[in-house]
Structure 1
């Protein structure tokens, strides 16, 4: 219990003191679809992925304490590792079935903490969802939690240079309507829900 309170306090401090200025003033962040965000029960946020900054930016914008599955290598990067850990991220080993990671995710959902999953599993150069994995749908089935499709627009091109002068793109985060969890874990059902999420997110990106 004390650890949860401590983590939430750190999350709020990092969100307001570090992420807020970056989100609002550097990238002129804007949120669309706030009314679609569940405010009581936990959910699984599913998003496209274009930048290492996606987890803190999404967590801050949605206003819910969202724990992201992040590849283990990111926790070794100075400062970024501290930020994502403070924001509740937990490591996942790419390329292998990490049962411990799944158990952590299920425990967080049962404790009314939200989970964030980048449905492609890794960053995409075009910023869209291209090859979605079915892990989010399976996790939703196991825990019977809503899936929340979210698009973060322009994160794959946050900074561009003109004559060596950095230009920061405007970040727009669009929240779609929640998707019901699968009622069984058959391959066809999981694939159908995953394709639905892909379409929702890419349509939000526009």
Structure 2
């Protein structure tokens, strides 16, 4: 993979030039400034002052940050919501500079940036890319321009968005940020020793892009490296996404709850479990069950010896008391209806680590409806294909398919469906749909098998 680092002060045109070059050369563009801006936006929203380094450090692990590529464009997500426009304000610019000086923030985001560079041809811009993030980058450019030139460009950008900020205010903010970025003790703004200096003060945008491209081509030629065919990596892999929220799962807490509280849950919910001898005790596993009510999650949890990890809609993670509890119990967020790539990657990561993920193939709850009369989503087939995990079918039976206090619920665990049984060849929608239907048929067969006894 080829890495291109473009550093320089704010307003020098790094993002515009890097983005254009990435599209032209077929690279993934990584705007690290936008990443720090997103962290700054989060701190602003929760009331942490930009200068409060201790408060920023204390709250950094609460940031749910994502990067998604759409048509080759980088989109910044905060708690699953696109904030790409919200981070482009003078206030958030100040926050970005302040949070980027906090060591805990840089440590928190360090892996995010390097992982993208390991897996893709990237053009990454920022203030310490060539010196800290990608010190071995194949090409390093230090892009600069006079403060006045940068202020004029920033004023034009804001004007296009319908925002009016005086030239003097913008120039003062730029000078203040330059001093702060250059004078900070952690990763200060400076050119790498082997970076090529490019001053664009008197250049048009097209001239700046052409000059930067020439530097890239000349530098790679000297190193006897060639550019890949201009096929955009971000367009080939729109699922490139990094969700850097630490896994808050607390296995010990989960098992403690299961050991000391499950009896109470079982008694109140009147849960009876059958087929426990069929539980697969090791290796990656996808537990699939029919879905009647939210309490299906508890019924399954107390019926399995291994911890189950669940997808939960992102809105639940915004509830102050509920969010830390469900995270500790192993839940992770999904943005329903958006094809949440982060949730898919998280699921695949958990399975790759040998964990158990519980899912409902119907995709939603069907209260009072016979499962046989519902439809199944193909997503489970895609996850099986990509993870190569076995599937444990489970049928949750309750009278009238409606939960009531003290109404008997029966959890029937079937024998695992081995990956080889799905007969995948090349994947694709048809195979995914067929696999999902196979899983659901096995789930329904458990209901019939139990009724025949």
Q: In the alignment, what sits opposite 1:89? A: 331
Q: In the alignment, what sits opposite 1:179? A: 417
2:256 corresponds, among 1, 13, 18, to 13
Asked if 2 retains the 8 angstrom alpha-carbon contact of 1:47 and 1:152, the reply is yes
> How far does residue 145 in structure 1 lie from its aligned partner after superposition?
0.5
Deviations 1:39-60 (A, max 9, x none): 1112011111111122232122
Q: In the alignment, what sits opposite 1:168? A: 406
Asked if 2 retains the 8 angstrom alpha-carbon contact of 1:137 and 1:194, the reply is yes
2:379 corresponds, among 132, 135, 138, to 135
Deviations 1:115-140 (A, max 9, x none): 11111111012252611111111111
When structure 1 is superposed on structure 2, of 90-99 and 77-86 the one drifting more is: 77-86
Residues 74 and 127 of structure 1, relative CA distance in 2, 3 Å threshold = farther
> How far does residue 173 in structure 1 lie from its aligned partner after superposition?
0.5
Q: Do residues 107 (structure 1) and 349 (structure 2) align?
A: yes
Asked if 1 retains the 8 angstrom alpha-carbon contact of 2:317 and 2:323, the reply is yes
> How far does residue 16 in structure 1 lie from its aligned partner after superposition?
2.7
> How far does residue 172 in structure 1 lie from its aligned partner after superposition?
0.7
Partner SS state of residue 371, structure 2: coil
Q: Distance in 2 between matches of 1:55 and 1:89?
A: 10
Q: Distance in 1 between matches of 2:252 and 2:274?
A: 26
Q: Distance in 1 between matches of 2:306 and 2:325?
A: 16
**Structure 1 unaligned blocks of 5 or more:** 160-166
Asked if 1 retains the 8 angstrom alpha-carbon contact of 2:381 and 2:434, the reply is no
Partner SS state of residue 62, structure 1: coil
> How far does residue 190 in structure 1 lie from its aligned partner after superposition?
1.7
Partner SS state of residue 294, structure 2: coil
Q: Distance in 2 between matches of 1:82 and 1:153?
A: 30
Q: Distance in 2 between matches of 1:116 and 1:71?
A: 14
Map 1:1-206; keep pairs closer than 5 Å: 7-23=250-266, 25-76=267-318, 81=323, 83-125=325-367, 126=369, 128=371, 130-154=374-398, 156-159=401-404, 167-181=405-419, 182=422, 183=424, 184-206=426-448
**Structure 2 unaligned blocks of 5 or more:** 1-245, 449-453
Residues 119 and 79 of structure 1, relative CA distance in 2, 3 Å threshold = farther
> How far does residue 86 in structure 1 lie from its aligned partner after superposition?
2.6
Partner SS state of residue 168, structure 1: coil
> How far does residue 85 in structure 1 lie from its aligned partner after superposition?
2.6
> How far does residue 187 in structure 1 lie from its aligned partner after superposition?
2.5
Asked if 2 retains the 8 angstrom alpha-carbon contact of 1:14 and 1:86, the reply is no
Asked if 1 retains the 8 angstrom alpha-carbon contact of 2:394 and 2:411, the reply is yes
Deviations 1:148-206 (A, max 9, x none): 111111184221xxxxxxx5211110111222334231322222221111222122234
Name which one, 1 or 2, has greater alpha-carbon Rg.
2
- The TM-score with structure 2 as length reference comes to 0.40
Partner SS state of residue 359, structure 2: strand
Q: In the alignment, what sits opposite 2:219? A: none
Deviations 1:94-113 (A, max 9, x none): 10111111111111111111
Bigger RCO (CA 8 Å, 6+ sep): 1
Q: Distance in 2 between matches of 1:20 and 1:112?
A: 27
Residues 76 and 204 of structure 1, relative CA distance in 2, 3 Å threshold = farther
Q: Distance in 2 between matches of 1:34 and 1:26?
A: 20
Residues 83 and 22 of structure 1, relative CA distance in 2, 3 Å threshold = farther
